[in-house]
Structure 1
Amino acid sequence: MANGVYHTGYGIEINLTRQDLGNPGYDRLLEEITRPVGERPRNLLQCLKDRRGGQCQCALDGKTPWMFIRRKRRDGKVVWEAAHLPLTHVATPGESDKHKAMKERIARTASRHGLDVQTEARSDDGRVVTDVLVAGAGGRIGWEAQYSPITAGTVRRRSARARERNIAPVWVTADVTSDLIDRAPWARVDDVPWQRILSPLAMIIRGGVRHLQIWKCTSASERPCPESAGACGRWHSGWFLPALCIPQERATALDELVVSSAHGEHLPVHSRSRPDPRRTSFVWALARDVQRWREITGESGLTPEPAPADDEPVTYTEQVLDASCRYGEEGPHTSSPRPRRGLASATGLHTFDQEPDQALLKPTRPVALRLTPRERLIVAAELRCPPWEIGPCMLCAAPLHRYGPRSPKVCPSCRASATAR
């Protein structure tokens, strides 16, 4: 990141490591260059290397040499740094329609279940505007529908401001490469038209919700050892996608997470990878899994390093002006295709020697029907159907006549409950 920038209006070079910015004759210069980009000319600040006739990598990549000033914490100190402006992205009509549809769906779901709902909720100081604010017994959940590109820094900053106001943020995206994934609590759904978002059909969460799995690493284990090629004989735990749980867990629907997160039945967890401490993951998990995870690992859930507060003093290191271009070291900017984020691999893996209490967790919402041949015959006799047509209810996994002609997919109990709602 650059410690200097060129001011195109005054024709001066600015050194951000000096308290007078290397230009003692200019009053209110710092206030001017740190104003939001929307409140000043976009081309006010220029990359020094580009200005001096060098090869600015950002400009070579087909972007612009214009820059902005931001606070950054480095080695425990808050400093000013100059970074290249990302290309502005104007939401397309399709993105805008999906954004509005997602907000309406979340608000409609929360209202239908008796929760307090506010759309475009603004905090008392006006610094935080939440797409949909849902309040329940478990706290206040701030839902953000994100269908256009966003930087990781913006997600972290907005999430930190929400947490300061006792709002638990959750970001919804349909983009598998979005920079918001694992930067804050998140949920990924399928990318469908806005009409489908508004429909009563279920929207399954494809990423962001996981279940705790605990197993002993033996040669007979159904899972490989995460630390060695063979079986280590120790115990492991980790967060897994529902389809990769043993036995398989039922996937969570978006509407379900809207309600359960407000009631405190689903909680956000921020875990760090033991092999690579720099890698962290955000997941939504059932409260009982979170409690069990805390008991096993002794972790309470990490909180991200807070962004520098606006009133936190800046340290001036009095360095020599650096005119080199740091584009490519600034984080989200890259000329290569964005990688897929939120992979299916297990996260938050832990290994321990002693067997934990209640090591075998019963599946909370199993989707597989596990019946012995005799039990299947008994159920078939009660339902008056062939044994091979017995299957699980898609909501509660209770056995029912699932695969016959015109057979239902849900049991009478679940159907009655849904009708009542």
Structure 2
Amino acid sequence: MTQPVWQQLDPLTFNDGVYYVPAGVELQPRLPDWGQRNQPALRERLANNRPHGIRGQKLLCLLCLLCMRHRSQNGLGRSPVWMTLVEGPYGPVFRHEDGRSPHPEHEPETDTHKALKERKARTWRSVGGDVKLEVRRPRARRRPDVVAVGPVLTVAGEVQHSKVAPGDIRARQKALHKAGDRVVWTTNRNADNIAFLHPVPHLSVPALSDYRLYLTEPRLEIGAGAITFEAQRCGWADLWTGTNRCPVTRRAVPCGRLHLYPTFNPRSYSREKAATTAVFPCGPRPHLDHLLEGILHGSWLPYRHRDRVTWIPAASHMEVVAERGGTLELAEGGSALRRDRTNERACERRAGAVAAQSEAPEAENLSSCCGEKPPGRAGQPVVPACQLCRHSPTYYRRDELDREVAQA
């Protein structure tokens, strides 16, 4: 007796789409013609099979390969997961037979989403990238919108047209980062409506009235997500901290040295224009094609400042990291930033550590104020006294806090 088709299928050999049993092909709802360009009448044929049911009778002909993959990877055994086809606001939607919500991979994309995705793919192809759309990344167990393989990096491009939960964004970012991809998120939402994208490397472009403009406009200027720097004497107003404190010592007293400060000054892009040999040169302001080319070639890198990730020129990255701390791992990891103890004194921080180790043999010899032995005892240097605890008045620097967060 011949086995059913679902028992013969190995879902691990497919691309997480929908298997159309009568035609024996995999449908990928987010690709043109569902990924079956050689079968232009496939949609009409599928509609005639009535997979959505008629008069209470349903012809089971669509299988969810993504669900069957999950069952196989979790050792649950083979079992069919049937689907139906219904009309949604943006086109046909493949839904589960049992009423569960469809997977994002099985939902149609808006015209704006498709246009931004095609803009990314077209830009990366024109600068020598090997580009593929909707390809599963096995190590990430995700399918990013675009994957571009460049001479140095593999970059995954995600387009986020609608607002989603920040946790979902971080989970997707973390999975793609573990797979070895550098991820760049693109949205057409304005800077006031992209807080859910702040923890990941993102670029915001203007919201245009016609989706076709995303493919025809020569430049889509970046509204948020990228910035350059200018060198100024210590004490300059810092856009990132909102203060005039030294970015190295974090003290109100200027140190007298030059530092790199984030800026929107158009003149700051002159160095970027002069140093680049990009196919898409930088104009008066950064624009999408220039940034995408630079990200693929490694001339723009993500940097995390507080709870926001921003693309900055690679030429400035090393100096900014040396002054302000932070690593690529911290910028690309997708984890939420811990905000505890950001304004503590060093002595207060040590006091908490001593309180947690109160059972230590030397606990009775420690000061009740900051957890250090009094100055002058064996093994302890004499340090300048502060007004609170008569010990070192040192504050925690921002880069030290960022390293603690990265190691947590």
Interval of TM-score (by shorter of Structure 1 and Structure 2): 0.3 to 0.5
Bigger RCO (CA 8 Å, 6+ sep): 1
Which has a greater percent of strand? 1
